[in-house]
Structure 1
Amino acid sequence: MKEDLTIGFIGNPNCGKTTLFNAYTGANLKVANWPGVTVERMEGAIKDHDLNIRLVDLPGTYSLTSYTMEEQVSRQFIMSDEVDVIVDVADASSLERNLYLTLQLLELGKPVVLALNMMDIVAKRGMEIDTHRLPEMLGIPVIPVSARKRTGLDILLHAAAHHKDNQRPDRLIHEHKRAYHHHHNHHAEYAMVYSDEIEDKIDEIIACMEEKYPGLDNYRWLAIKQLEQDQEVTANYPVDLPDVIDKNYESEIINQKYDFIQEIIDEVVVNKNRQEALTEKADRILTHRIFSIPIFLGIMALVFFLTFTIGDWLKGYFELGLEIFSAWVSHGLESLHVNAMLQSLIVDGIITGVGGILTFLPNIFILFLALAFLEDSGYMARVAYVMEGIMSKLGLSGRAFIPMILGFGCTVPAIMASRALENPRDRYKVMLVTPFMSCSARLPIYILFSGMFFPENPMIAAYSMYIIGLVIAILIAAVIHLIDRKTSPNYLLIELPEYKAPSARTIAIYVWEKVKDYLTKAGTTIFVASILMWIILNFGFSGYTTEMADSFGASIGKILVPFFAPIGLGFWQIAVALIAGISAKEVVVSSCAVLFGIPNINAPAGMNMMHSILEGIGFGQLNAFCLMVFCLLYIPCAATLATIRKESGSWKHMGFAALFQLVVAWIVTFLIYQIGSAVL
């Protein structure tokens, strides 16, 4: 009978922990080169060494001192009885920074295995790590691995399986240069030994806690946390030792840990100063005080250039396929003498709505491919870093820009990434402004209307939406900061990883997940929305009708026209499409296809037909631009609203976010339309 074993993967952000987890489980989890992506623990299961092994991927954390929601998730799991073995994944190319968490984990008294990841990068830099001396100094197994190249994985799992019952350190050989020779000879018991003063205090606290709280497993770690005046520990295990805990010793404990880390680095890392010059040289330009933001905007412009040029070329084949399929289905239904109403539902409703969205798949694919490349190369972390100056003036840290950047892909994970912020008020602010960032679901709207009304410069028209969204988000954050000045300074602490060649596997996982989400949405939300749109446009108070002007949709749209008229969108068809777009932003396009009866709306013929229809009702270039702006800024999709409700824990906050965005969208679009009407 197989036994059960739970292994917890923990490590600093960007250490390759999730990539390692994926290598074992095959799970298609999000892998990105910045902190704040894995905001919940992920689980997988494998069978090995005659064990049922449960693998748990925890959010990245720099220490076991809980500040952010991510760190709290990691700490709570590591402290629980669920985990049998802790696999501490460390970036071997930045060992000095990673070992601080390692030393904290060793003090828990639980089985720990150190996985030295990215050893291929270490070798590339001409560095070497003494993997025989390092376990002597730490007292735990140290296994070199490369998650990207999938090397060392079997040995790591073997070490974890055989180390699961070992709660005491292996043989320790220190030979400290700055040893604190404690009279209890703790060097034989623990890897990390502090000064006599602190060790004496730890001993006294342990003695007190053993008497007051018998049966605990990690007295030493709890005693150290008492000296650091950790809020959770002091609340759960109060001790009355005013002469021992006479101040906060956290800084002394941190400094002494780093003294020991420096000893380790001096002994085990060879050729430490021989590093790649690429990152340093690139950062002189990409993180430059003046040029960094223009470079970022230029890179994003290049992304959209590729999205339009390559995407549109591929899109032509999808359009041709849709035309053939639509004609084949229509001919088949006619030959079978299917009821005319059912034919209309299938061809004019489902195929027109869902098919119109699927033709944008090449553009979506190119966009996510480019974003995945930027993430995995290490560039996106720099974006948060260079935005620190702007964000700090808004009462936020550069870390708050991470969810905003994620919003270029999808607003749902972007809202979830706000957990990386320590202050709840900051999280609410980020949840309020992040939906203004233009997600990929809006891209079909931009492609369609910029292609129809700005044929000479469609990319510029679409790209301007991303700039407008970014500017509006920053301006809104500035206004909120002026109103609410209760937030304490929140400075950015973020790792700038080495630039590296993106992993093909990581990019493939990322892009496939996004494409799969897009296809899933087309097969569910957009499918249902297309059917509902067909129903309200083909049924009225007198029943089924072929006159759309007599339908329920026309009645609803005409009621909303006075609201949309001042912003240049006073057309009942547009009003109906915008209301439908709350379910998912892509539905605006599929609704337009159904509303205007265009089976292949994204094809040149379909766009020309729709352009003629819109011009016939007085919808021109300025109206099209206003429509794109309104779609950018108005009420987020249903999935985003649900995520805001979940993350804020408040229906009131969700409702306020929806209303707030609607008001901002109306005001901004009103100004653009009125000023544009006066100038043009």
Structure 2
Amino acid sequence: MSYRFALAGNPNSGKTTLFNNLTGNNAHVGNWPGVTVERREGKCKKSTENIVIIDLPGIYSLSPYTPEEIVARDFLTNDKPDVIINIVDATNIERNLYLTTQLLELGIPTIIALNMMDEVELRGDRIDVVNLEKQLGVPVVPITASKNQGIEELLNRALSFDKDHPLTTKNALENTKICDTIQEISELLAAGGYTNTLYYAIKLIERDEQIKDTLKLNPSLNLSIDKAIARAEHQSGEEIEMLIADLRYQYITEAISEHVQKGKTAGELTFSDKVDKIVTHRILGLPIFFLIMYLVFEIAVGTIGAWIVDPFGAFLTETLPEVVTNFLIWAGASDAIQSLVVGGVLTGVGNVLSFLPQIVLLFLCLSILEDVGYMARVAFVMDRIFRYFGLSGKAFVPLLMGYGCSVPAIMATRTLEDVKSRRLAITVMPFMSCSAKLPVYAVFAGAFFTAHQGLVMFTLYSLGILIAMLSCLLLNKTVLRGDAAPFVMELPPYRIPTLKATTTHTWEKAKGYVVKVGTILLSMTVVIWFLQSFNFSLQLVDNSSESIFGSIGSAIAPIFAWNGFGFIKGTTIAHWQIGAALLTGLIAKEAVVSTLGILYINDGGEQLTSALSTALQAHFTPLAAFSAIVFVLLYAPCVAAIATAKKELNSWKWTLFTVAYQCGAAWLISMIIYQVGYWLGIGLV
């Protein structure tokens, strides 16, 4: 026999941690709302039974306002799992139980997992689990998911739920002033042939239009229900939705007052409260954020990152190609094969992989900040600024994810309540520099700004934020007018990241990067090698400028004449290599580095043995180099991100507009930087 257990709970309740614990899945665990935007499934590895665990999005209620809440409710009401495991943050039990009262109305077997019990003990709080269980009428199991405590009991009780369950689920709205109305509407629905009448009756009383559309009530039944609701509202003298919310919280408060005892520190400022007084300060909050991010980039790229990447990069771009070349010569491989393997594959992939240590360090630092809980505070600090530009602070969550990869970041915009906010966030998402752009910055910074690599990275990432905000302001005043959605976000307590969670998150990101290099980029290096080795007549060329790529790049390059990198340094010769590289960057941003490596290092003459940084110095001035990486920072993302944007926007018109806007902004800002720098006499040599 097989079972399906659905995990449901508030954001930050530890739901995804429990999912990983039960399934061994390497899902990301982030200490801020919005991590899980779609349900995920995994086979339970903690039991011999055939159990499928479904991880639903973190939600606060079953009254949906966001796509993630719709995903969760639709699954629970339509697919009906065997058991709902409701994860409740035991340190914030009152707020979490609001969702619990709604889940208990679904008529689906439900078991409550009181999570983070270790923190409850540290606070000196006490929860009478036995009597709370009797109060709610469903099993309540104390657990600490991050430490694998209580998991076995939770599974055992979930498996035996429908076999031997002596408890009777309690309805939070029983014996209240609207219970007669609930009963009346339930009977009307039952007479009309509907099932699960308690849940639907309450939702209709709450005037849930989506439920009404789903039920497709006939006019007569609809009129009878409306009259019953109107009578209840008239008798209570309150708006019915507010009345139900108040009644739920009264029920929860009574349960908490009887079965939860706060420790001696109740009412005192917690450690999180004390830290928040500083990091969320109106004046200090933003400078602290920028200081922390500067330190992150200094560690990942400037100091430790540079120290690690030099020997690692030397092995990939010097030692390994030399060894492979000698082997191919010994094996009698032709010149074409040597060129393909060494000049194509090893040069292209090696130049990108050489920056893997810096990318891993960046992921590690950001993962720690997320798991500690700091990033939720940044969203709070940013709300005041974002709101001025037409976004709420909640948009910071998907924008932050954009630093990893634009694809999941664009998908995460589903957590934003209104269409206008989602369109704004998706349009400016590429300005949040994804990890694929880091090799481009690193190779240019290493060639031209060796002593200030960390500062250059920090400047680029800060510039991306600035352009994103200015773009929001412009779009909010023109094509996307409207006020920002209200900002509601929980600030979870600070927690010490677990080694497993942090390393898992970092490993998954790094693995994804390596897999991308080993699949898409490896294939592209072969294509790039072919395009730069043959002309349109498919004849092998000695000079790459006469190749297919040379012709295409020569046609593109003049577009960037005003940007400083349309022509080769000190000449009027079209800089076709950068034009071709930017084109391949639309497939994958890492391809910009691999393309330049292949085109420069295999372009004949002295370039055959030159390092990529030396080749760059021969083709760019420092100012032109900075202009080029600003363009890479801002122009359209990879095709995968564009396809995801089309899916989320559900409009070719808006998708094409976003791509055009991103490319236009990239060209304009890059041009302004170069022209201003040129007239100020900056970086001309």
Alignment of 1:477 with 2:472, yes or no, is: yes
1:334-483 alignment runs, 5 A limit: 334-483=329-478
Alignment of 1:245 with 2:229, yes or no, is: yes
Residue among 121, 124, 127 paired with 1:123:
121
1:1-150 alignment runs, 5 A limit: 3-46=1-44, 51-150=49-148
| C-alpha separation in 1, matches of 2:472 and 2:373 | 27
Residue among 188, 198, 204 paired with 1:220:
198
Q: Deviations over 1:292-313 (max 9, x none)?
A: 1111111110100110211121
Deviation at 1:485, TM superposition (A): 5.8
Alignment of 1:299 with 2:292, yes or no, is: yes
* TM-score between both structures, scaled by the size of structure 1: 0.93
Alignment of 1:199 with 2:179, yes or no, is: yes
1:460-539 alignment runs, 5 A limit: 460-484=455-479, 486-539=481-534
| C-alpha separation in 1, matches of 2:137 and 2:608 | 69
Deviation at 1:651, TM superposition (A): 3.1
| C-alpha separation in 2, matches of 1:131 and 1:372 | 34
Alignment of 1:318 with 2:312, yes or no, is: yes
How many residue pairs are counted as aligned between the two chains?
652
Deviation at 1:135, TM superposition (A): 0.2
| Shift in CA distance, 73/596, structure 1 to aligned 2, threshold 3 Å | same
| C-alpha separation in 2, matches of 1:254 and 1:597 | 68
Moved more, 242-251 or 379-388: 242-251
Q: Deviations over 1:114-153 (max 9, x none)?
A: 0001111111112121111110110000001111101111
| Shift in CA distance, 164/670, structure 1 to aligned 2, threshold 3 Å | farther
| Shift in CA distance, 206/446, structure 1 to aligned 2, threshold 3 Å | same
Structure 1 residue identity aligned to 2:583: I
8 Å contact from structure 1 (residues 286, 382) kept in 2: yes
| C-alpha separation in 2, matches of 1:513 and 1:606 | 36
| C-alpha separation in 2, matches of 1:347 and 1:34 | 45
8 Å contact from structure 2 (residues 23, 45) kept in 1: no
Moved more, 231-240 or 79-88: 231-240
Deviation at 1:489, TM superposition (A): 4.4
Secondary structure of 1:80 counterpart? helix
| C-alpha separation in 2, matches of 1:316 and 1:567 | 30
8 Å contact from structure 1 (residues 169, 190) kept in 2: no
| C-alpha separation in 2, matches of 1:496 and 1:623 | 43
Who is 2:167 aligned against?
A: 170
| Shift in CA distance, 624/169, structure 1 to aligned 2, threshold 3 Å | farther
Who is 1:180 aligned against?
A: none
Who is 1:620 aligned against?
A: 621
Who is 2:154 aligned against?
A: 156
| C-alpha separation in 1, matches of 2:608 and 2:188 | 79
Alignment of 1:211 with 2:204, yes or no, is: no
Secondary structure of 2:227 counterpart? coil
Residue among 546, 552, 571 paired with 2:548:
552
Deviation at 1:596, TM superposition (A): 0.8
8 Å contact from structure 1 (residues 304, 463) kept in 2: yes
| C-alpha separation in 2, matches of 1:445 and 1:115 | 46
Residue among 564, 577, 580 paired with 2:581:
577
Secondary structure of 2:586 counterpart? coil
| Shift in CA distance, 153/16, structure 1 to aligned 2, threshold 3 Å | same
| Shift in CA distance, 598/151, structure 1 to aligned 2, threshold 3 Å | farther
Structure 2 residue identity aligned to 1:679: L
Structure 2 residue identity aligned to 1:78: L
Deviation at 1:558, TM superposition (A): 1.1
Q: Deviations over 1:368-398 (max 9, x none)?
A: 0000000000111111111111222223211
Deviation at 1:64, TM superposition (A): 0.3
Deviation at 1:268, TM superposition (A): 1.6
| Shift in CA distance, 573/485, structure 1 to aligned 2, threshold 3 Å | closer
| C-alpha separation in 1, matches of 2:610 and 2:159 | 65
8 Å contact from structure 1 (residues 352, 598) kept in 2: no
| C-alpha separation in 2, matches of 1:475 and 1:250 | 39
| C-alpha separation in 2, matches of 1:23 and 1:266 | 32
| C-alpha separation in 1, matches of 2:484 and 2:522 | 47
Structure 2 residue identity aligned to 1:206: S
Moved more, 16-25 or 655-664: 655-664
8 Å contact from structure 1 (residues 398, 492) kept in 2: yes
8 Å contact from structure 1 (residues 14, 497) kept in 2: yes
Structure 2 residue identity aligned to 1:657: T
8 Å contact from structure 1 (residues 64, 71) kept in 2: yes
Secondary structure of 1:524 counterpart? helix
1:599-614 alignment runs, 5 A limit: 609-614=611-616
Secondary structure of 1:93 counterpart? helix
8 Å contact from structure 2 (residues 10, 59) kept in 1: yes
Structure 2 residue identity aligned to 1:128: R
Secondary structure of 1:55 counterpart? strand
Deviation at 1:650, TM superposition (A): 2.8
| C-alpha separation in 2, matches of 1:615 and 1:60 | 50
| C-alpha separation in 2, matches of 1:193 and 1:637 | 51
8 Å contact from structure 2 (residues 382, 396) kept in 1: yes
Deviation at 1:354, TM superposition (A): 0.5
8 Å contact from structure 1 (residues 70, 420) kept in 2: yes
Deviation at 1:554, TM superposition (A): 1.4
| C-alpha separation in 1, matches of 2:213 and 2:528 | 56
| Shift in CA distance, 169/473, structure 1 to aligned 2, threshold 3 Å | farther
| Shift in CA distance, 10/549, structure 1 to aligned 2, threshold 3 Å | same
8 Å contact from structure 1 (residues 194, 256) kept in 2: no
| C-alpha separation in 1, matches of 2:484 and 2:579 | 43
| C-alpha separation in 2, matches of 1:159 and 1:139 | 14
Q: Deviations over 1:510-545 (max 9, x none)?
A: 111101111101101111111111111111245112
8 Å contact from structure 1 (residues 635, 658) kept in 2: yes
| Shift in CA distance, 606/661, structure 1 to aligned 2, threshold 3 Å | farther
Residue among 595, 598, 623 paired with 2:599:
595
| Shift in CA distance, 607/367, structure 1 to aligned 2, threshold 3 Å | farther
Who is 1:654 aligned against?
A: 655
| Shift in CA distance, 607/642, structure 1 to aligned 2, threshold 3 Å | farther
| C-alpha separation in 2, matches of 1:598 and 1:280 | 59
Moved more, 345-354 or 500-509: 500-509
Secondary structure of 1:456 counterpart? helix
8 Å contact from structure 1 (residues 194, 253) kept in 2: no
Secondary structure of 1:235 counterpart? helix
* TM-score between both structures, scaled by the size of structure 2: 0.92
Alpha-carbon RMSD:
2.0
Structure 1 residue identity aligned to 2:370: E
8 Å contact from structure 2 (residues 24, 45) kept in 1: no
| C-alpha separation in 2, matches of 1:459 and 1:38 | 32
| C-alpha separation in 2, matches of 1:272 and 1:222 | 40
Who is 1:280 aligned against?
A: 273
Deviation at 1:204, TM superposition (A): 1.1
| C-alpha separation in 2, matches of 1:558 and 1:538 | 15
Secondary structure of 1:441 counterpart? helix
Deviation at 1:566, TM superposition (A): 1.2
Deviation at 1:576, TM superposition (A): 1.0
